[in-house]
Amino acid sequence: MDTLLDLHKSLATKFVVPIMGGKALDLHRLFVEVTARGGLEKVIRNRQWKEIIAVFSFPSTITNASFVLRKYYLSLLNQYEQVYYFRKQVPPSVQLEVATTPSEEKSTDANQLPVSRRRNRRRSRMAARDPFHPKPNRSGYNFFYSEHYARLKSLHRGQEKTISTRIAHLWSKLTEAEKQVYQEKGLEDKQ
C-alpha cells in the first residue's frame, strides 16, 4: 500500500480507496487476482472479470461489478502493475520522486502528464451539449414508482430489486382509471 501511495503521489494523481458493497475495496487482493492471471491486458483479452468478481463475493445488488472493478483497476492499479509487476520503464516524474526523500517533495507540472484521448473526447462531447437542454419527460409509471419507492425503501433497505419488483406488481394491479391519474401527470411533464 505504501508503494502504491508513493506512486500516485509522484504522478500527482488522486488516490482514494473506493467503496463497493458497503466495504472498502481490497486493492491488494484485486492486484493479486489480476496479476495472477497475467495482468490487465490478459484479463481483458480472456474475459476473466467474472472469475475475479467471484473471489470478492459482492452483494447481488452490484450488477456492474466487472465494469466498476475494471475502472478502478485502470485508474488506481494499472500504472502500479506496469512499474512493479512488469518492471517496465518508470516515467521520469516517478523516478525523480523515488530518488528523493519525502522531505524533498517536488511539485509535478500537470501539463507534463499524459492525458488520455478518451477523457478529452468525453469532455468535448460534454462541452458541445446545451446546458439548458430540457430533461427527458417522465412517464406515468415513473411518477407511480417515485411515489411508492420512498415508502418501500424504509421497509426493504438495500434490496433494490425487491422494491422494483413490488412496485411493478402494484402497478399491474391498478385499474385503468387509477393508472390514468399517473398517465396524466406524465402527459403534463411531457408538455
User: Rounded CA gap, 12 and 9, in Å?
Assistant: 5
Instruction: Tell me the whole-structure pTM to 2 decimals.
Output: 0.46
43 occurs within a structural domain: yes
| Same structural domain, 81 and 147 | no
Helices and strands (H and E) in the chain: how many = 11, 2
| Same structural domain, 143 and 69 | no
- The residue behind cell 425503501 is 153
Q: Which three cell numbers, joined as nine digits, stand for 107? A: 511539485
106 occurs within a structural domain: no
Per-residue pLDDT, 160: 83
| Same structural domain, 150 and 77 | no
| Same structural domain, 8 and 84 | yes
182 occurs within a structural domain: yes
| Same structural domain, 9 and 75 | yes
Long-range contacts of 179-186 (CB under 8 A, 24+ apart): 179/140, 179/144, 182/140, 182/141, 182/143, 182/144, 183/139, 183/140, 184/140, 185/138, 185/140, 185/143, 186/137, 186/138, 186/139, 186/140, 186/141, 186/142, 186/143
| Same structural domain, 6 and 84 | yes
- Quote the DSSP letter at residue 82: I
Is residue 98's pLDDT more than 50? no
- What average pLDDT does range 176-180 have in this prediction? 88
- What average pLDDT does range 79-98 have in this prediction? 64
154 occurs within a structural domain: yes
Asked if 105 and 94 count as a contact pair (C-beta separation under 8 A), the reply is: no
Per-residue pLDDT, 97: 40
Per-residue pLDDT, 89: 65
103 occurs within a structural domain: no
Number of domains forming the structure of the chain: 2
| Same structural domain, 6 and 76 | yes
pLDDT band at 124 (very low <50, low <70, confident <90, very high): low
| Same structural domain, 74 and 145 | no
Given CA atoms 154, 157, 158, 164 in this order, what sign does their dihedral have? negative
Is residue 102's pLDDT more than 80? no
pLDDT band at 118 (very low <50, low <70, confident <90, very high): low
130 occurs within a structural domain: no
Express each pLDDT in 133-164 by its tens digit: 777 788 888 888 888 888 888 787 778 888 88
Q: Domain residues for 25?
A: 2-88
Per-residue pLDDT, 91: 53
| Same structural domain, 78 and 144 | no
Which 3 state secondary structure label does DSSP give 23? strand
Asked if 62 and 21 count as a contact pair (C-beta separation under 8 A), the reply is: yes
End of a domain among 88, 114, 148?
88
Say what percent of the chain tops pLDDT 70.
78
Express each pLDDT in 22-74 by its tens digit: 888 888 888 899 989 998 889 889 988 888 888 888 887 888 888 888 888 88
DSSP labels, 61-76: T-TTHHHHHHHHIIII
Backbone torsion region of residue 39, taken as left when φ is above 0, otherwise alpha when ψ lies between -120 and 50, otherwise beta: left
> When comparing pLDDT for 88 and 53, which is higher?
53
164 occurs within a structural domain: yes
63 occurs within a structural domain: yes
Say what percent of the chain tops pLDDT 90.
2
Is residue 108's pLDDT more than 80? no
Asked if 66 and 50 count as a contact pair (C-beta separation under 8 A), the reply is: yes
Is residue 131's pLDDT more than 50? yes
End of a domain among 73, 88, 103?
88
| Same structural domain, 84 and 143 | no
| Same structural domain, 8 and 74 | yes
User: Rounded CA gap, 151 and 91, in Å?
Assistant: 53
Where residue 26 sits, what CATH number does that domain have? 1.10.150.60
